[in-house]
Amino acid sequence: MGESKKTVREPLFRIVKRDGISMTAKVIIRVVAVLLALIADALFIYFVTGLNPLDVYKVMFQGTFSTSMRFMWAMRDLASLLLIGIALAPAFKMRFWNVGAEGQVLMGALATAAVMVYYGGKVPNALLYIAMLVASLFAGALWGFIPGWFRARFSTNETLFTLMMNYVAIQIVACCVNIWRGQASGLGKLNMKTKAGWFPQIMGHRFMINLIVVLVLVFAMYAYLRYSKHGYEIAVVGESENTARYAGINVGKVIIRTMIISGALCGLTGFLIVGGRDQTISTNTAGGDGFTAIIVAWLAKFNTFYMALISFLLIFLSKGAAEIASAYNLNDFASDIIAGMILFFILGSEFFINYRIHRKHSSKEVR
């Protein structure tokens, strides 16, 4: 009896994970992604809005660079976004998906505002700053510790846990703001007359301290994750908890410790926002940066120097979209699409950095 044969058909395309890719190739892929994004945006701008794409790009550029004041405003917003990204880096490297940065920032901001409300003008400013800082770090650390402890103790889903804690934080802030403002329609600036707790001006800006702190933390977190024993433990736990246990690492301790650090840095962001940027608090104090910073940390692969570049790109796109909407009287949706398409292509380029596509060569015959 003859042997039967059958043809095994391979799929037309196969996706294969890359073993490694050179830095030059990464740069080329990202540059191509940006160029394709600009072309796609140009088509959208021309056929949908009827505007000249080059003029629109020029206006987008002016949103950040047209004046020194606009550039400084971009730096102010970059400081908050980058610091939250730095805060998320150790948790994400440990594969603890902390999506609760928004709530952790809010709790740090709330603790800072509470110290300003109840002790502003009653103690020397130096002591007030210390109390604000300690309170913000503690509040943020607590909001990070809770999901960390539950994950270490009960193996809870940290994504859902931290996400839900955002809403708890929002309601706590809303309640406190409502109590503090009394009959007023809004809370307004804290300690407006005395300016107690407001950061001192450096080069004409109160948020210069924010930039200095963030710059220091870019180097400090890079060294912590790359060269410290704690950073090594975080990396091992992120790769495999079982391997970490076999190596004698206390996984629960690492999880809790890392989330305390992550939460404390988010709380520090709240301190810098209230004291150095807004001098007030609301449920929108974090401004969505807690979620945007997830993109920053993920795209940078937890490298804080790359985070600085990506944070600046996102701020540039945000400012550019707002400037386009203002200059051409477009609705926010159209201008956000223009900025969003660039971000979409950049995010998409990560696929081609991590994977390659194989095309089918021929069918195989098997007996």
The residues spanned by each domain of the chain are 82-314
pLDDT at position 219 is: 97
Q: What is the DSSP string of 110-171?
A: HHHHHHHHHHTTTS-HHHHHHHHHHHHHHHHHHHHHHHHHHHHHH---HHHHHHHHHHHHHH
- Between the alpha carbon of residue 143 and those of residues 135, 256, 329, 355, the distances in Å are 12, 11, 42, 37
Nearest in space to 269 (alpha carbons), one of 121, 97, 103: 103
State the Cα–Cα distance between residues 148 and 246, nearest whole angstrom.
21
pLDDT at position 246 is: 93
pLDDT at position 73 is: 93
Which residues of the chain register pLDDT less than 50? Answer: 1, 363, 365-366
pLDDT at position 291 is: 93
pLDDT at position 1 is: 47
- Between the alpha carbon of residue 230 and those of residues 96, 181, 278, the distances in Å are 15, 43, 34
Nearest in space to 96 (alpha carbons), one of 263, 320, 286, 255: 255
Asked if 131 contacts 194 with a C-beta cutoff of 8 angstroms, the reply is no
State the Cα–Cα distance between residues 286 and 157, nearest whole angstrom.
24
DSSP 201: P
Which three-class secondary structure state does DSSP give residue 202? strand
Asked if 240 contacts 110 with a C-beta cutoff of 8 angstroms, the reply is no
pLDDT at position 5 is: 58
Which three-class secondary structure state does DSSP give residue 276? helix
pLDDT at position 23 is: 80
State the Cα–Cα distance between residues 88 and 71, nearest whole angstrom.
26
Which amino acid is located at 29 in the chain? I
State the Cα–Cα distance between residues 200 and 77, nearest whole angstrom.
18
pLDDT at position 49 is: 85
pLDDT at position 232 is: 96
pLDDT at position 6 is: 60
What does pLDDT average to over the chain? 90
Location of structure tokens 């270490």 = 152
pLDDT at position 71 is: 94
Phi, psi of 328 (to 5 degrees): -110, 10
The whole-angstrom distance between residue 348's C-alpha and the CA centroid of its chain comes to 18
pLDDT at position 14 is: 77
What's the half-sphere exposure (Cβ side, CA atoms, 13 Å) at 16?
11
pTM, two decimals, is: 0.90
State the Cα–Cα distance between residues 143 and 169, nearest whole angstrom.
9
- Between the alpha carbon of residue 215 and those of residues 55, 222, 244, 315, the distances in Å are 34, 11, 32, 17
